[in-house]
Amino acid sequence: MRKRLSSDYEGRCGQCHKPMSSEDNFCRYCGTPRGGGDFKPYENSNVCVYGPPIATTHTCTRCGLSWTVNTLGSDDAQFCPKCGGGITSKYKERW
Ligand SMILES: [Zn+2]
Ligand SMILES: [Zn+2]
């Protein structure tokens, strides 16, 4: 039986521990289905990337879902959060 993980996992990918929105079926960073994954908290490193603010637009090549993320540094999403398909990304520096 799969143990329900702590609330710390809510809203996080079970594999890479990046944030997932409540509607996401797949992690957009590693493609792991919601509830899947093998995340080990103590092996996780919080990577902070500093750089110019960048607006990144991701578009799913399978279902066409498109979303934009504003980040410091690039957003390294690689999978569609809805269908788990591959995405294309466009980066736009905001200064
Ligand atoms: Zn993930
Ligand atoms: Zn998709």
The phi-psi region of residue 87 (left if phi > 0; otherwise alpha if psi is between -120 and 50; otherwise beta) is beta
The pLDDT of residue 53 is: 72
* Burial tier of 69 (Cβ tally within 10 Å: 0-12, 13-18, 19+): middle
Distance 8 CA to ligand 1 centre (A): 15
Give the C-alpha distances (Å, rounded to integers) separating 10 from 6, 47, 76, 88, 94: 8, 20, 21, 27, 31
Indicate whether this model's pTM tops 0.75.
no
CA distance 11 to 9: 6
Nearest ligand to the CA of 14 is 1
59 DSSP 8-state letter: E
Q: What is the chain's mean pLDDT, rounded? A: 79
Residue 42 CA to ligand 2 centre (angstroms) = 31
Tell me the CA–centroid distance for residue 60 and ligand 2, in Å. Answer: 5
95 alpha carbon – ligand 1 mean position (Å): 29
Residue 85: nearest ligand to its CA?
Answer: 2
| pLDDT at res. 47 | 53
Per-residue pLDDT band at 7 (split at 50, 70, 90) = very low
